[in-house]
Amino acid sequence: MRTKKTPLFIGLSLFSLGVAGAVLSKITPMISHDERGAFYVLLILLILFLSLCAYMLFYAFGQKFILFQTIFEHSNDAISIVDEAGNYIWQNRSHHALFGLELEELQNRQASFYINTKEVWLKEELDRIKEFSGIFKSTSKQGYKDVFISAFRVENDLGDTLCYVQMKREAKEYLRIIEKSQSERERILALAQKDPLTQLFNRNGFDEALQKRLQEGKNGCIIFADIDNFKTINDTYGHDKGDKVLQGVSKLIQANLRGSDVIARFGGEEFVMWVEAELEKSADIAEKIRQSIANTGIESLNITCSFGVSAVEKSALEEAIKRADEAMYRAKKSGKNRVCIS
């Protein structure tokens, strides 16, 4: 199944010469002797031009054919092509490796698979539903094999069947891929919702987790916290030290919250919490966290935080965060290391 350039060009040229010979035998008697030389030259140039056009046309299609054949041949999926009568006409290397059958052996049988113990003919199934996929039994050199099959019917513009294509994988391998893909999706989702430094929620994760609680009808308050003089810590001791301070603060906050509460790092040195409690109780929780941080040396440094607290009224989350932020800035202006309520 290869396309050769030179034999194709020679073949097309010989075909063109044959056609030209037939035309010459008919037209030559009609042309005067003096005009025949010029006519022959023009005819030869026309033949060469037509041969070149035909060659370029076939070459373009041939290149695409080689490209698709190469892709199919080297695919990790076991791919086979079945003709309109339902018989195998081609398989790639992976198909041969999976089933251990030579193409000559496949050509002697109709393409089929098994649902439980019932043999189903591929052609009949695809003529009925055009495409399908699933895990089925299929025959191999070693006997029956559980394989994942994805098959479809190829049609021309008129809706006539050109062929059928099967793509297969061993069932165990397919299930491993699905499991790995699921784990990868969960990992990516976690990255999209978590702050990589502290492993707390980021803004997206915080909003999603909190919306679920609000939809369940739960009430609570927002606590906004900001590490005091954090820029000075970074400038004096470096960003590595600053990162360790952020991690230390996040652990102390988590240690003073319950499993139903939600905490996020909003960026920089800012932390936001939602606690399922009334305003007064939430302020007490904030004060407990403040004291825990102030009384614990983090990275051999005296670290303090300023806090702002506000109630989430009628699910107005953004407004509550804004008021808690404003309360936190009042705490900063009042001397830092304290809790203010909005």
Q: Which residue has the tokens 């139903």?
A: 260
- CA pair distance 67, 62, nearest whole angstrom: 9
- CA pair distance 132, 152, nearest whole angstrom: 7
Q: What is the pLDDT of residues 106-144, one digit of tens each?
A: 887 899 999 888 899 999 999 988 889 899 999 998 889
> What is the rounded average pLDDT for all residues in the chain?
83
Q: What is the pLDDT of residues 2-28, one digit of tens each?
A: 444 455 555 555 665 566 566 656 665
SS3 332: helix
Core vs surface per residue 91-103: b (16+ CB within 10 A) or e: bbebbbebbebee
Core vs surface per residue 37-55: b (16+ CB within 10 A) or e: eeeeeeeeeebeebbeebb
Active-site annotation holds for 105: no
Of these residues, 269, 276, 278, 318, which one is catalytic? 269
- CA pair distance 204, 210, nearest whole angstrom: 10
- What are the tokens at 208? 């999603």
Q: Which residue has the tokens 């987790």?
A: 209
Q: Which of 309, 304, 248 is nearest to 275 (CA)?
A: 309
| Residue 317 pLDDT grade (very low, low, confident, very high; cuts 50, 70, 90) | confident
SS3 336: coil
277: pLDDT strictly greater than 80: yes
Would you tell me how many other CB atoms lie within 10 Å of the CB of residue 171? 18
Instruction: Compute the chain's Rg from CA coordinates.
Output: 38
- CA pair distance 309, 338, nearest whole angstrom: 11
Sign of CA dihedral 317, 318, 323, 329: positive
